[in-house]
Structure 1
Amino acid sequence: MINIVLFGPPGSGKGTQAQNLIEKFNLKQISTGDLFRYNMKNDTDLGKLAKSYIDKGELVPDQVTTDMLVDEVKKPTDAAGFIFDGYPRTANQTAELERIVKEVLNSEISVCLSLVVDDEILVERLLKRGETSGRTDDSNEEIIRNRIKEYYTKTAEVAELYKQQGKYVEINGVGEIDEISQKLFAEVEKIK
């Protein structure tokens, strides 16, 4: 089983590359953003609980996110593994994910792939995306820079944990999409 933690700041091409990894290796992507939207849209108990925090402008507690993740991992799938996107973001979430993968899937995290892109390129990409996507958080440079800073602040400790385990790999996220995909594929092939 291949279990990938996919890292990359906003605008790094993570969404595109996740799709390429899914197609190449028959993986199932678990995105915490998608889990939140699904649970809230379908009015599940966890969705209602998450919404109660979001409506107050508060962060959803780790346990609620973790419970959503467990529910998703337990669903039957014919995938050869998972891509975890947007989780873990903290040392506590990293420990939880490791526990879940071990207990529920009888497996372990194979690798943490991190797409690295210069901040100025990220800002440029997101502003360009904002022109066509209609996303307000992609049209304001100050908000974009803050999101990028937040990403680095939050994920630094997680990256360090995977570095200590020898499972952290940085991939240059600048260049042709196919070239970047090939670099990611080569890293996954090493662990198969």
Structure 2
Amino acid sequence: MLNIVLFGPPGAGKGTQSQKLIARYNLVHLSTGDLLRAQIAQGTELGLKAKKLMDEGLLVPDEVVIGMIDSSLQANKTAGGFIFDGFPRTVPQAQSLDELLAKYDNGISCMVALEVAEEELVTRLLERGKTSGRPDDQDESKIRKRVTVYNTETAQVAGYYAAQNKFHALNGIGPIDSIFEQICELVDKHKPAVATAPAAATSEVKA
């Protein structure tokens, strides 16, 4: 199974590349934000627990998020793998994710981080803000704060995966298809080997 952690600051094009990777490798997109909203909407035990914490103004603990990811893994057993979006953001989260995947004799294949200079990100997001309707895409100070938070979080997790020889940074500026092919080159190096049946034994018959 191919499991990719795709990171990139706001405006780096991570969403676009995620969709292309999902299509090529038959992956399931796991966004913790989407999982959280779905569990709450479905009224699951984890969703109700998360909603109670959020209503009290508290952060949802890692074990609840890991539980939601576990539910998704079990619900998508035939997937070619998963692409993790926005998770893990801390070393403890990365360790918990490794422990969870190990239960299924699996693990993270690689982490790819799209790198884009801050000024370029600000330009892109302010431009996106003209049509996205998102207030955090229209306020330069908020944009810079989001980028700073991302850089701080990624530095920790990047080191964790680098120690496992799974971290790769790519320039996120350039043609979309060119960046995608670079990502695929990295991903292909980490794809699990496909088991092949042993060749049938042959015997030579002499006249």
Smaller-chain TM-score range? over 0.9
Alignment of 1:161-180 (within 5 A): 161-180=160-179
1:53 to 2:60 alignment:
no
Distance in 1 (CA, whole Å) between partners of 2:58 and 2:125 is 25
| Structure with more helix by fraction | 1
Unaligned stretches of 5+ residues in structure 2: 192-207
TM-score (norm: length of structure 1):
0.95
Q: Deviations over 1:55-99 (max 9, x none)?
A: 333321111111111111111343211111111111110001111
Task: Quote the residue 1:40 is aligned against.
Answer: 40
Could you tell me how far 1:48 is from its partner in structure 2?
2.1
Q: Secondary structure at the match of 2:177?
A: helix
Could you tell me how far 1:102 is from its partner in structure 2?
1.3
Task: Quote the residue 2:156 is aligned against.
Answer: 157
Alignment of 1:14-163 (within 5 A): 14-104=14-104, 106-163=105-162
Distance in 2 (CA, whole Å) between partners of 1:155 and 1:54 is 24
Alignment RMSD (CA, Å) = 1.2
Could you tell me how far 1:5 is from its partner in structure 2?
0.8
Task: Quote the residue 2:205 is aligned against.
Answer: none
Q: Secondary structure at the match of 2:120?
A: helix
Q: Secondary structure at the match of 1:171?
A: strand
Unaligned stretches of 5+ residues in structure 1: none
Could you tell me how far 1:13 is from its partner in structure 2?
0.7
Could you tell me how far 1:33 is from its partner in structure 2?
1.1
Greater alpha carbon shift after TM alignment, 146-155 vs 14-23: 146-155
Task: Quote the residue 1:186 is aligned against.
Answer: 185
Could you tell me how far 1:53 is from its partner in structure 2?
2.5
Could you tell me how far 1:4 is from its partner in structure 2?
0.6
TM-score (norm: length of structure 2):
0.88
Identity of aligned residues (%): 48
Q: Secondary structure at the match of 2:48?
A: helix
Distance in 2 (CA, whole Å) between partners of 1:77 and 1:94 is 21
The letter for the 1-side match of 2:78 is: D
Q: Secondary structure at the match of 1:112?
A: strand
Aligned residues: 191
Higher Rg: 2
Q: Secondary structure at the match of 2:29?
A: strand
Distance in 1 (CA, whole Å) between partners of 2:47 and 2:143 is 27
